[in-house]
Chains A and B, each alone.
Chain A
Amino acid sequence: QKEVEQNSGPLSVPEGAIASLNCTYSDRGSQSFFWYRQYSGKSPELIMFIYSNGDKEDGRFTAQLNKASQYVSLLIRDSQPSDSATYLCAVNTGGFKTIFGAGTRLFVKA
């Protein structure tokens, strides 16, 4: 059974701080890695994707991938109350099936 594991949280950070969200996956053949943001009662929305080892930055978001450790992370710099949501880590092994983690709830305190 292919798995994607996330700490459910909640992770609470003060406004302006860096939020660090982590994810591990079990399938070494995984090829693509995604972070989705889901506000309460809403649908998931893609915010970052990464295919290669290393860091990828987009605005306040940085995705980090370490395939040797089977580890993906998302850093949110200058966290805002509007970043409060559940963040879903998702992994694809090259086919049509994307496996999702259960998500980490993030609270940013004003």
Chain B
Amino acid sequence: NAGVTQTPKFQVLKTGQSMTLQCAQDMNHNSMYWYRQDPGMGLRLIYYSASEGTTDKGEVPNGYNVSRLNKREFSLRLESAAPSQTSVYFCASSETGRNEKLFFGSGTQLSVL
């Protein structure tokens, strides 16, 4: 039972490069999320998808785009990476979304030079 799977685990980019972080869940959850975690700060929500076909902005959406490809997959794209986007990124899912417990992927350590 894989749960929430993220790829890649590590990535180094140069400023201005683009990349897509992939996330897939096999728990038949409706809602999916992208968070970033920076030292000394809590997890901050970037974007979420309440259900297949919908996406909404979270607390820190600037510089990111997302795609809910199907019920299982939710990707995060950095179009032009900036050093301020150096962070650990976590994908998460929940059964229905509202008030729900979150299940996290293993994370992606991203460095932008």
Q: A interface vs B, CB < 8 Å? A: 4, 8, 31-32, 34, 36, 42-46, 49, 51, 88, 90, 92, 94-103
Contact = CB atoms under 8 A, between A and B. Distances in A.
Contact of A103 (B42, B90, B102): B42
Contacts of B33: 96
B58 A92 contact: no
Contacts of B40: 8, 102
A101 B37 CA distance: 11
A96 B42 contact: no
Contact of B90 (A32, A43, A49): A43
Nearest to A3: B42
Given A44-B43, A88-B42, A102-B41, A94 B99 contact: yes
Given A96-B50, A97-B45, A101-B42, A46 B97 contact: no
Contacts of A51: 99
Interface residues of B, number: 26
Nearest to A93: B99
Given A43-B90, A49-B101, 14 more contacts: A34-B102, A36-B102, A44-B90, A44-B102, A46-B102, A46-B103, A88-B43, A94-B98, A96-B50, A96-B56, A97-B45, A97-B59, A98-B45, A101-B42
B107 A43 contact: yes
Contacts of A103: 42
Dominant secondary structure at the B interface: loop
Contacts of B56: 96
A42 B58 CA distance: 23
Interface in B59-113: 59, 90, 97-107
Contacts of B105: 43
Contact of B31 (A96, A100, A102): A96
A36 B35 CA distance: 14
A97 B58 contact: yes
A1 to B, nearest CB: 9
Interface pairs A-B: 5 shortest CB-CB: A100-B42, A43-B104, A32-B99, A100-B43, A102-B42
